[in-house]
Amino acid sequence: MISLSITIANVTFPSCIYNASGALCTSLEELIAIGNSKSGAILSKSCTLEPREGNPSPRYHSLPYGSINSMGIPNLGYKKYAEFAKSLKRFGKPYIVSVSGMTFDDNVTIVRELSSVTEIDLLELNLSCPNLIGKPQVGYDFEQSKILFEKVFSVCKKPLGVKLPPYFDFIHFEQMANVLNQFPLEFVTCINSLGNGLAIDVETETVMIKPKGGFGGIGGKYAKPTALANVRKFYELLNRNISIIGVGGIETGSDVFEYLLCGASAVQIGTILVEEGVKCFERIEKELQELMEKKGYSSVDEVKGKLKTL
Ligand code: DHB
């Protein structure tokens, strides 16, 4: 049997395929369902200092080739995700908490507090929420990102990675990679949704979601070529000890294979998890194993980064 297991920061993932933050991972029930599935890890919804209701509904809509959302970080507050850690340990897979504080100081506080919770394995600091009214994404401000990392790494005792927004310009990739390479980061997750897209219902001549006049983050197939490019570019530019986790439009085992070729060590499933439910993990894993078997590969490491150019 082909092994899809991987190790990041000395933490073993039984499978390299797990949920993206935001997809069915806010309540304890949802996190338990991910624990009971074939997902290779349990990653929480991005948390803030205090619980949040999020934006008014409708705030998620599926689209012909993906999804649009402007959730506004509905979550239970970081203390709950700390509390859940003990009961999620029984699933024998990593528990990762996504952190998306509303301010610089909130991020520092949440990382400091969560990093002392034994049963949390890793932290994913989200620099890329596109749905907060009046807030720029930290990930698009390279100086601010560096200042935040300096502070966060001074208080963090756990393996930490970052979730990035998509970049589209080679100079921006280089500027961000230059910042990331200065810190003891364990992983980089590429990419968050394509920020502030717009989807329209022609019949009613109306936007699809209520917040922000209809603007929202675009996920699914629309995001895949951009996400693959971000994984590939950061694989070229980052120190080899920083693992890359790919996310964007993965629906099949073949999609996962593409991300591995680009240099991803693991992948996350967002839109299709919301659409299909947790049974998607078993299907995608099986599809990947069959493809690898057919091609004669027996581990993720054998495929990782092997993309050929012309
Ligand atoms: C939300 C959306 C994101 O893309 C993200 O990274 C964090 C939060 C949201 O709207 O809830």
The pLDDT of residue 201 is 97
Q: What is the band of 130 on the pLDDT scale with cuts at 50, 70, 90?
A: confident
Token pair listed for 158: 């756990």
Does residue 217 surpass a pLDDT of 90? yes
Whether the CB-CB separation of 20 and 247 falls below 8 Å is answered with: yes
d(CA 280, CA 269): 9
- Nearest-CA residue for ligand 1 atom 3 is 129
d(CA 255, CA 207): 30
In words, the CATH class of domain 6-54+73-194+220-303 is alpha beta
The pLDDT of residue 1 is 80
How many whole angstroms from 70 Cα to the centroid of ligand 1?
Answer: 7
Q: How many CB atoms lie within 10 A of CB 245?
A: 26
**What value does the mean pLDDT take over residues 204-231?**
98
- Nearest-CA residue for ligand 1 atom 6 is 129
Does residue 129 surpass a pLDDT of 90? no
The pLDDT of residue 114 is 98
Atom of ligand 1 at shortest distance to CA of 132? 10
- Nearest-CA residue for ligand 1 atom 8 is 73
**What value does the mean pLDDT take over residues 81-104?**
97
Whether the CB-CB separation of 46 and 69 falls below 8 Å is answered with: no
Whether the CB-CB separation of 294 and 44 falls below 8 Å is answered with: no
Q: Is the CB of 189 under 6 A from ligand 1?
A: no
Atom of ligand 1 at shortest distance to CA of 216? 10
pLDDT in tens, 218-274: 999 999 999 999 999 999 999 999 999 999 999 999 999 999 999 999 999 999 999
Does residue 112 surpass a pLDDT of 90? yes
Whether the CB-CB separation of 284 and 252 falls below 8 Å is answered with: yes
Does residue 39 surpass a pLDDT of 90? yes
pLDDT in tens, 40-87: 999 999 999 999 999 999 999 999 999 999 999 999 999 999 999 999
Q: Is the CB of 117 under 6 A from ligand 1?
A: no
What is the pTM (predicted TM-score) of this model? 0.98
The pLDDT of residue 18 is 98
Q: Is the CB of 115 under 6 A from ligand 1?
A: no
How many whole angstroms from 21 Cα to the centroid of ligand 1?
Answer: 8
How many whole angstroms from 266 Cα to the centroid of ligand 1?
Answer: 21
**What value does the mean pLDDT take over residues 136-153?**
95
- Nearest-CA residue for ligand 1 atom 1 is 73
Residues known to be catalytic: 128-129
Q: What is the band of 135 on the pLDDT scale with cuts at 50, 70, 90?
A: confident
The pLDDT of residue 131 is 82
pLDDT in tens, 11-31: 999 999 999 999 999 999 999
Mutate to test the pocket of ligand 1, among 60, 61, 76, 126 (most ligand atoms within 8 A of CB): 126
**What value does the mean pLDDT take over residues 278-291?**
98
How many whole angstroms from 131 Cα to the centroid of ligand 1?
Answer: 6
Does residue 143 surpass a pLDDT of 80? yes
The pLDDT of residue 132 is 77
**Phi and psi dihedrals of 67, rounded to 5?**
-155, 160
Does residue 133 surpass a pLDDT of 80? no
Domain spans of the chain, in order of start: 6-54+73-194+220-303
Q: Is the CB of 217 under 6 A from ligand 1?
A: yes
